[in-house]
Homo-oligomer: A and B are copies of this chain.
Amino acid sequence: MKTIFHLDQNELPQRWYNILADLRTPLDPPLHPGTQEPLDPAELEALFPKACIEQETASDRFIDIPDPILEVYRRWRPTPLHRAVHLERLLETPARIYFKYEGASPTGSHKTNTAVAQAYYNAMEGNQRLTTETGAGQWGSALSFACQTFGLECSVFMVRISYDQKPYRKTMIRTFGAEIFASPSEQTEAGRAVLARDPDSPGSLGIAISEAIEAAMRDEATKYSLGSVLNHVLLHQTVTGLEAQKQMEMAGETPNVVIGCVGGGSNYAGIAFPFYREALERDDPTRFVAVEPHACPTLTGGEYRYDFGDTARTTPLLKMHTLGHDFVPPPIHAGGLRYHGMAPIISRLVEDGVIEPLAFSQLAVFKSAVLFARTEGIIPAPETAHAVHAAIELARECATTGEPRVLLIGFSGHGHFDMSAYTAFLNGELAPAHPTNGAFSDQRRSLFC
């Protein structure tokens, strides 16, 4: 039985899919953080290249991927689609479980798809350096690789606690040639101000964003780069779903459920949006399931309203699901899912009833992750493990009902740089990490209801 579906390199998608052309309800515009009036896109030019700003509001359904980006994608793309037959057998489920494996990228996750695009557009517009923040380190790794590829310098501000706890992720970033600072750092006024108050500050994503933005504003040729949330970032990720469509066709399958984890939303957008369009054309009841941690339940526990993207309230206001820009999630191991907000497009699709959010506790998630590793041989990143867990729950339900559903997981990355989380789990030291108020609990309702 065939279990891996490879596309030939000449089948690499030549265009990204722009879901803005197909949204039932248009997005509410970003607002200026000061005036709270709709933002003039030109105001973003200090931070982002013009090409990306244009993509934020583009109306074309498909956008050509420039050749130099395709050439870099070809170092690892198309990524394989796997069928998890060994997991299926263990679960004794009639469900068929597929996963699109983005762990095959140079830095081990989907993040590279947009990093390469953003680095390219910046290089084309004559910029010389990119700055960014990173928490878990996936994004910092991806951007450092992309900058190296297009001859840009790269400065990464890594949240101090991750910087200290994940020395190997830091080394990967340095191996790809970027400079990396523990944030708060002495490099910026924002960092120095924090250090003056608290020399031992463990840092936060909010502080690191402020530092990266300040460093980017310093000169014309330095720009800032964001790894999720914004429309152009989600656009770049659709290459994964477009490939997966062709691969599911090779397998002779149509997914009944498309599953992915959500932090800022770009991984899930990548796998889901092309299938959303396919379902529109077919008027098909495909289900879209976005999985988040109980500890940071943006979609299942947040409000849909305008909020800032960062703690310091310097970013434009975005209409999105949010737990409040001052929400501090418990220190769970899926660092990539510890964000208070959500991509406006994902939020809109949740409001419109297209995407169904689910939330799980990390203890349940890691149990499923180990089950997956032992059957399929791939150790999922803690973020990815959330999607794996949801798929296993769905497949177990199919075992009860006898329904042969086709499940497709957007497998965002491997866990090779997150083994400390597995150590904690195997040692029985992993906290369930519910939010402190205990308001949320594992959803025990039928997942197929």
Contact = CB atoms under 8 A, between A and B. Distances in A.
Interface string A359-371: 0000000000010
Contact of A9 (B3, B108, B172): B3
Nearest to A4: B9
A44 interface: no
A84 to B, nearest CB: 9
A423 B171 contact: yes
Contacts of A416: 108, 168, 416-417
A426 B175 contact: yes
A10 interface: yes
A297 to B, nearest CB: 27
Contacts of A75: 3-4, 82, 86, 376-377
Given A419-B172, A423-B171, A426-B175, A76 B377 contact: yes
A311 interface: no
Contacts of A168: 168, 416, 419-420, 423
A145 interface: yes
Contact of A106 (B106, B149, B377, B426): B377
Nearest to A373: B175
A168 B106 CA distance: 20
A379 B175 contact: yes
A174 B374 contact: no
A2 B9 contact: yes
Interface in A358-407: 370, 373-374, 376-379
A374 B6 contact: no
Contacts of A172: 379, 419, 422
A389 to B, nearest CB: 16
Interface in A136-193: 145, 148-149, 167-168, 171-172, 174-177
A3 B423 CA distance: 37
A177 B104 CA distance: 24
5 contacts: A3-B74, A4-B74, A106-B377, A148-B374, A175-B426
Interface of A: 2-4, 6, 8-10, 74-76, 82, 86, 104-108, 145, 148-149, 167-168, 171-172, 174-177, 370, 373-374, 376-379, 416-417, 419-420, 422-423, 426
Shortest beta-carbon contacts, A-B, top 3: A106-B377, A168-B419, A416-B416
Given A105-B377, A171-B423, A176-B374, 8 more contacts: A3-B74, A75-B82, A75-B377, A106-B377, A168-B423, A171-B420, A172-B419, A175-B426
